[in-house]
């Protein structure tokens, strides 16, 4: 199956449904260096939902909360806690994307819709993904406002100006050096991984690029199976995990238990200078998973020569992995919410196209230490 039949330009944004958007937006601004660029709420005539749009280079987060108890966002928060609820992708043609995906088996949620204001025409449609997660297709090629109709620009953000910069490939707000969304990982129930692999392949022509089964990971840590689906000419990557039997409770099962069903496990955000980015994040109070310093003892023997000083990486807890195409540097935050669910990965790629398979063992040990501290092992 060719992937050409489903063109995707890029990730547009990820929307988080939260209990208190004002405080969550403040956290992502101060801890992660995002800049608020647009807002909707009572002050803009939005009677049911408040949303803050935050940007850093080409990454856009929308933090939303509902103002009424029976709103779908309130129900989502009640069930899942704060969660990444919508994965939005920019496409050239929303109607084509929606009709193609639904014809090929996807369940529609919102049919192609057009909204207009003085800044132009904004088009979108929504289909259902794993759990209660939604996939939103957006065409903003004829829209020049801050974010979407109903949103007011914030922080001196000029309507239109940021769009021109985005199209030239550089965002306006540099923050802590986070650049774009590298991949978005979903956790699904035991036995459901292949169904969702097929979903991405059949509905949107994604191809499977990587497969880890429980044999790839030493038995004690064989806690998950994972397949990586790729689309949009390689710009969109969706790894999908399912729990596997191990000696200990799978970290994926812990997520499913606390999230009450499948959902987004982590967003991987790329940076061009992980050492500087992670320093800023740590100074701002972001907590990362800890790996023992012994991880660095034989690092060069495992991954070969790298540009970054190893003692600097060790000080910050940054991990390294190498594949046929190059190497990558990565680090994982602790959960960003009180339930052991959503977290961020920070990643810097030097050619490598993998996801840090060589770090799984060290990472799983680290995650299991955290699980044990939570009383969940």
Q: How far is the CB of 223 from Fe ion (least distance, A)?
A: 15
Q: Is the dihedral of CA 350, 356, 361, 366 positive or negative?
A: positive
CB 15, CB 24: distance < 8 Å: no
3-class secondary-structure state, position 65: strand
Nearer to Fe ion, 224 or 268 (CB): 268
Q: Tell me the residue ranges of DSSP E strands in 254-372.
A: 263-271, 319-323, 326-332, 343-350
Helix axes of 193-204 and 94-103: crossing angle, nearest 10 degrees? 130
Residue 248, C-beta contacts closer than 8 angstroms, at least 6 positions apart:
220, 223, 368, 371, 377
Nearer to Fe ion, 244 or 331 (CB): 331
Token digits for 168?
Answer: 């030239």
Using CB under 5 A as the criterion, which residues of the chain lie in contact with Fe ion when the complex forms?
A: 268, 345
Geometric angle at alpha carbon 8, from 38 and 114, rounded to 5°: 55
Q: How far is the CB of 266 from Fe ion (least distance, A)?
A: 6
Token digits for 31?
Answer: 């801890």
Q: How far apart are CA 316 and CA 67, in angstroms?
A: 40
Q: How far is the CB of 235 from Fe ion (least distance, A)?
A: 16
Q: How far is the CB of 66 from Fe ion (least distance, A)?
A: 30
State the Cα torsion 328-354-325-4 to the nearest 10°. Answer: -130
Nearer to Fe ion, 268 or 367 (CB): 268
Pairing of strands 326-332, 319-323: antiparallel
Q: How far is the CB of 16 from Fe ion (least distance, A)?
A: 18
Nearer to Fe ion, 152 or 209 (CB): 209
Nearer to Fe ion, 203 or 333 (CB): 333
Nearer to Fe ion, 132 or 345 (CB): 345
Nearer to Fe ion, 61 or 363 (CB): 363
CB 130, CB 194: distance < 8 Å: no
Nearer to Fe ion, 50 or 333 (CB): 333
CB 50, CB 41: distance < 8 Å: yes
3-class secondary-structure state, position 153: strand
Q: How far is the CB of 268 from Fe ion (least distance, A)?
A: 4
Q: How far is the CB of 377 from Fe ion (least distance, A)?
A: 22
Q: How far apart are CA 21 and CA 23, in angstroms?
A: 6
Q: How far is the CB of 107 from Fe ion (least distance, A)?
A: 26
Token digits for 220?
Answer: 């004690």
* Tokens 């759990």 found at: 131
Q: How far is the CB of 330 from Fe ion (least distance, A)?
A: 7
Using only C-alpha atoms, the chain has a radius of gyration, in whole angstroms, of 20
Nearer to Fe ion, 321 or 345 (CB): 345
């Amino acid at each position: 199956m060719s992937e050409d039949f489903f063109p995707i330009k890029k990730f547009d944004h990820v929307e988080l449904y939260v209990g208190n958007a004002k405080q969550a937006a403040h956290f992502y601004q101060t801890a992660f260096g995002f800049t608020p660029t647009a807002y909707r709420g009572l002050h803009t005539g939005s009677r049911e939902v408040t949303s803050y749009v935050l940007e850093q280079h080409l990454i856009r987060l929308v933090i939303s909360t509902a103002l009424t108890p029976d709103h779908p966002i309130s129900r989502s928060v009640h069930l899942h806690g704060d969660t990444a609820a919508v994965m939005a992708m920019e496409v050239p043609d929303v109607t084509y994307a929606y009709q193609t995906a639904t014809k090929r088996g996807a369940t529609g949620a919102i049919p192609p819709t057009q909204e207009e204001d003085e800044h132009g025409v904004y088009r979108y449609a929504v289909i259902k993904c794993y759990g209660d997660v939604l996939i939103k297709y957006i065409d903003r090629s004829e829209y020049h406002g801050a974010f979407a109709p109903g949103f007011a620009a914030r922080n001196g953000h000029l309507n239109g100006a940021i769009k021109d910069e985005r199209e030239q490939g550089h965002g306006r707000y540099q923050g802590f050096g986070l650049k774009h969304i590298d991949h978005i990982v979903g956790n699904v129930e035991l036995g459901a991984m292949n169904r969702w692999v097929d979903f991405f392949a059949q509905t949107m022509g994604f191809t499977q690029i990587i497969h880890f089964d429980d044999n790839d990971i030493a038995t004690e840590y064989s806690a998950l199976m994972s397949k990586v689906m790729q689309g949009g000419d390689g710009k969109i990557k969706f790894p999908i995990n399912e729990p596997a039997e191990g000696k200990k409770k799978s970290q994926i099962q812990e997520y499913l238990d606390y999230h009450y069903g499948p959902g987004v496990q982590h967003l991987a955000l790329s940076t061009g200078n992980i050492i500087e980015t992670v320093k800023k994040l740590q100074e701002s109070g972001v907590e990362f998973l800890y790996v023992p310093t012994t991880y660095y003892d034989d690092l060069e023997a495992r991954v070969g020569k790298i540009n970054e000083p190893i003692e600097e990486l060790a000080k910050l807890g940054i991990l390294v992995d190498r594949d046929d195409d190059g190497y990558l540097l990565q680090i994982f935050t602790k959960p960003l919410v009180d339930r052991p669910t959503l977290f961020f990965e920070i990643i810097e790629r030097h050619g490598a196209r993998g996801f840090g398979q060589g770090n799984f063992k060290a990472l799983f040990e680290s995650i299991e230490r955290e699980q044990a501290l939570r009383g969940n092992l």
